[in-house]
Structure 1
Amino acid sequence: MDSISELPDALLLKILSLLPTARDVVATMVLSKRWQPLWMMVPRLVYDDSYQNLEYGSFSRFVDKSLFLHEAPVIETLHFRLGKTCGSGDIRVWIRAADKCSVRRLILEFDSSPSASRAILPRSLYTGCRVLAILKLMQDAYPVGSIFCCLVFLTICTWESEWLNLLMCVLKDSPNLRALKLERGHSGPGPQPRPCWSEPSSIPECVISSLQTLEWTEYEGAKEEKEVIAFILRNGSCLKKVTISSKSTDRDKKLEMIKELAFLSRRSATCHLTFD
C-alpha cells in the first residue's frame, strides 16, 4: 500500500474511479492520511442500492452526505442504480446536487420489477442541469416541453414497448444531439408487445443538422426497427457512421438484414453503414 500511496494524485484518482461503487471509494479514506481526502475528488461515482443489502434510509443519507462533501470541479460520471423503494424526493435532491457538482454524464437506472414503486423524475432533470451532456434513463417518465440544449449523446433502451415514443420525443427536444445509441438493455419481466411506428409529421432538427452517428445493438430486423433506420438514413444530412449489430446466429437471417439495410436510401453521401 505504501508504494501505491507514492503515486501522483491524478493516477490514484483514476484507480479509485475503477472501484465498483461509491461506498468502496469512500472506504479508502481510512487507509492513511494520504488517502483521506482523495475520495472527494474522484470523477466517477456509482451509487448502487439495487442489492437491497442496506435499509434505504441509510443509503439515502450516504448519498446526501458524500455528494455534499464532494469537491471535484467536475464529475464526469454519476451513476445511480436504484432499488424498489427509491423516493422521488431524493431524486430531486440528487439532481440538484448533480448540477452543483457539474456532472457531465448522468445515469439513472431503476428497478423494473412489478413490485417496485414508480419514481417520478422532476422537470429540473431536463431543464436545470447546466453542463449535462450525456443522459441515460432506464424508465418511461418524460416531461413534455423539455429542451435538452446540451445533450450530445443519447442511449435509449429498446426493451420497453414505448421506446419508440420516447425516442421521437427526445429527438424532437435535443437540437444538438450528435450520437444516438439504441440497445436492448436489461430485460424486464416477460415479453413486451412490439411497438408501432408512425412517421412524425416533422423531422427533428437534430436528425437534419447535427446527428452524426447511430449505433444499434441487438437489432432484430423487425418492421418498426427497419422503419426507424430508414427514417434516419433518409433524413440524416450529417450522418457519418451507422453501426448495426445483431445477436442472431442464423446466417440467412443476417444476410437478409444486410440486404434490406443496404438498399435503404441515404441523404448523406458520406454515411458509412456497417453491419456486425
Structure 2
Amino acid sequence: MDRISELPDELLVKILMSVPTKVAVSTSILSKRWEYLWMWLPKLEYLHRDHCSEPGCKRLQSFLDINLPLHRAPVIETFRLESCSSHFKPENISMWVSTAVSHCLRELDILHDDTEPAKSNILPSNLFTCKSLVILKLVGEILLDVPRVVSLPSLKTLKLQSVRYFDEETLLRLLSNCPILEDLVVDLRDYDYDYTGKLSIVVPSLQSLSLFIPYRREIDGFVIETPNLKYFKLMDHSISDHYCLIEKMPCLIEAYLEVNLPDMKSIIGSITSVKRLAICSEAIMMLGEGFVFNQLEHLEVCFCTLFSSDRVIELLLKASSNLKRLDFSFMDHHVPQGMVYWNQPTTVPECILSSLQSFSWSKYTGEPEERDIVVYILKNALHLKTATIKSSESSAVPKFEMLEELALSPRASATCQLMFD
C-alpha cells in the first residue's frame, strides 16, 4: 500500500475510478494520504443495493448532505443516484443534483423507486439550464415540471421512463430547448389514472426515438416530427382510442413497430424509406395494397401479424420488391397461437423471384399452415442462399419428421443451404 501511495494524485484517482464509489470512499480511512482523494472522483454512483435499508438510506443522506458540497472535482462526468424508498426527501435530492450541476455535470442518471406517487419536484431549476449536460436519464416516481426558462445546448441523450408530467406541454417545452438532441426514449407509465393528453415530439435533430405507450395509458394522441430520424421504435399497446400523426422520415434506416391502431396509414406512410423493419400488427391488412417499401432489405414479421389474415404475407412481400432477408419470429413476450389457413398467392411476389437471399423461421412446429409457407418460399426463391429453421420445443410433430420433410422439398435455388437448429 505504501508503494501505491507514492503514486501521483491523478493516477490514484484513476485507480479509484475503477471501483464502486462506496469502495472508493472507504479508502479515506487508510491514511491521511487517501483521506480526501475520493473527493476528486469525476464519477459518482450511489446505488440502492448498497443503501436499501432505512438506516442505510439515512447514512447515505447524511453523507451526501455533508460531503457532496465539498467535492473537489471541477467536472463531474457522471452522477448516478438510485433510491428505493421515500426515506430521501425531495429537497435533499434536489440539493444533491444542484450541487452536481454546479460541477459542469455531463451525465445525470436518477432512478427514484418510491411507493408513493411523485408530488414534489426533485429536479432543481438549474438542471434545465445546464450547458454541460450531455446525457439525462430519469426513471420512476419523478415529477417532470419544466420551468419556463430552459436551455440544454449540449444534451444529446434523453431517457424518460415512468416519470410523471406536470402537464401535456411539459415534454414539448423540454424538447424544444434541446437543439442537438439525438437519442430519445419516452416510456410512459402503465397506470390508467394517469392522463397525458397530447404527446408531441418535434425534434429536427433527433436520430433515434423509442416510444412506449402501455396498455392502460390514456392518451388523446401523439404527434411526431423527426425528419432526420434513423432509428424508430414504437410500441403502442394502449386500448384507448387515440390518433397518431407522424411526418415522413426520409432518413430512416431501422424501424420496430408493435402497434394495433385501427388507422395505420400515418405510421406506415412515414417509414416507407426504411431499410430494416420489424413489425407486429394485426391491423396491417386494413392498409390494403397502397403502400410500398422500395428500399426495404430486411423484414422481420412477428407471428401475431400472420395470425390476423391469410393474405398478410403476400401483402408485405408485394410491398417490398427489393427484399433480401425475411425472418418470421415471435417478438419479446408474445404468446404462440394457432395460425390461420394460408392461401398460396396466385402470383409470386417480385422479391422472392429477384432479390430474396436469406430466410428464417423461429419456433417452427411443422404444422401444415407453417409447412406450406416454408415450402412455398423454398420452391420459388430463385436466389435464396440460406434458409434457417429453428424448431419449437412444444411441437407435436417429431423434430426428425418435420426437418426431413423440408429437406426433401423442392428448391428453386441450387445454391440454397438449408440449416436446422
Alignment TM-score, normalising by the size of structure 2: 0.46
- CA deviation profile, 1:135-180 (whole Å, cap 9, x unmatched): 22231231342423232210011x4676994544432343332211
**Displacement of 1:27:** 0.4
User: Using the alignment, how far apart are the partners of 2:11 and 2:233 within structure 1?
Assistant: 34
CA offset digits 1:180-218 (Å, max 9, x no partner): 12357xx8xxx6228566365xx73xx22x1122245x7
- 139, 143, 151: which one pairs with 1:140? 143
**Equivalent residue for 1:198?**
198
In the TM superposition, what are the counterparts of 1:20-99 in structure 2 within 5 Å?
A: 20=20, 22-31=21-30, 35-48=34-47, 51-54=52-55, 58-82=59-83, 83-99=85-101
Aligned-pair distance for 1:75? 1.0
1:242 is aligned to 2:232 = yes
CA apart distance, 1:31: 3.6
Partner of 1:170: 174
Corresponding residue number in structure 2 for 1:154: 158
Partners of 1:180 and 1:7 in 2: how far apart?
42
Identify the match of residue 214 of structure 1 among 170, 186, 209. 209
Change (3 A) 1:70 1:92: same
Counterpart contact for 1:86–1:119, Cα < 8 Å? no
For residues 217-239 of structure 1, the C-alpha deviation after alignment (integer angstroms, 9 at most, x for no partner) is x78799989x75xx43xx31222
Aligned equivalents of 1:123, 1:76: Cα separation in 2:
18
- Of the three residues 107, 110, 119, the one matched with 2:109 is 107
When Rg is computed on C-alpha atoms for both structures, the one with the higher figure is 2
- Please give the secondary structure, in 1, of the residue aligned with 2:46: strand
The verdict on how the C-alpha distance between 1:88 and 1:179 changes in structure 2, with shifts beyond 3 A counting, is same
Structure 1 distance, partners of 2:173, 2:144, is 11
Alpha-carbon distance in structure 2 between the residues aligned to 1:161 and 1:97: 24
Question: How far 1:56 moved relative to its partner?
Answer: 5.2
Distance 1:258 1:4 in 2: 58
Deviation at 1:29, TM superposition (A): 2.4
Give unmatched runs, 5+ long, in structure 2.
237-255, 279-330, 332-421
Number of aligned residue pairs: 248
Alignment correspondent of 2:17:
17
Distance 2:8 2:230 in 1: 40
Query: Residues 4 and 180 (structure 1 numbering): CA distance in 2 closer, same or farther, change over 3 Å?
Result: farther
Q: Which stretch of the first structure deviates more once superposed, 162-171 or 145-154?
A: 162-171
Higher relative contact order (CA 8 A, sep 6+): 1
User: CA 1:51–1:117 in 2, change beyond 3 Å: closer, same or farther?
Assistant: farther
SS at match of 1:214: strand
Counterpart code for 1:148: S
Structure 1 equivalent of residue 269 of structure 2: 265
CA distance in 2, matches of 1:130, 1:62: 27
Quick one: structure 1 residues 224 and 96, their matched pair in 2 at CA, closer, same or farther if it must change by over 3 Å?
Answer: closer
What is the DSSP-based 3-state SS (H/G/I as helix, E as strand, rest coil) of the residue aligned with 2:55?
coil
Q: Which structure shows the higher helix fraction?
A: 1
State percent identity of aligned pairs.
27
CA distance in 1, matches of 2:143, 2:77: 25
From the two aligned structures, give the one with the greater strand fraction: 2
SS of the counterpart of 2:25?
helix
User: 1:227-267 CA distances to partner (integer Å, 9 max, x unpaired)?
Assistant: 75xx43xx312222335689xxxxxxxx9839979962348
Distance change >3 Å, CA 196–CA 244, structure 1 → 2: closer
Distance in 1, matches of 2:216 and 2:258, equals: 10
> What is the TM-score with the length of structure 1 in the denominator?
0.66
User: C-alpha distance in 2, partners of 1:121/1:96?
Assistant: 10
Residues 164 and 274 from structure 1, CA distance in 2 versus in 1: closer, same or farther, beyond 3 angstroms?
A: farther
Q: Is the 8 A contact 1:106 1:135 kept in 2?
A: yes
Indicate conservation of the 8 Å contact 1:179/1:214, yes or no: yes
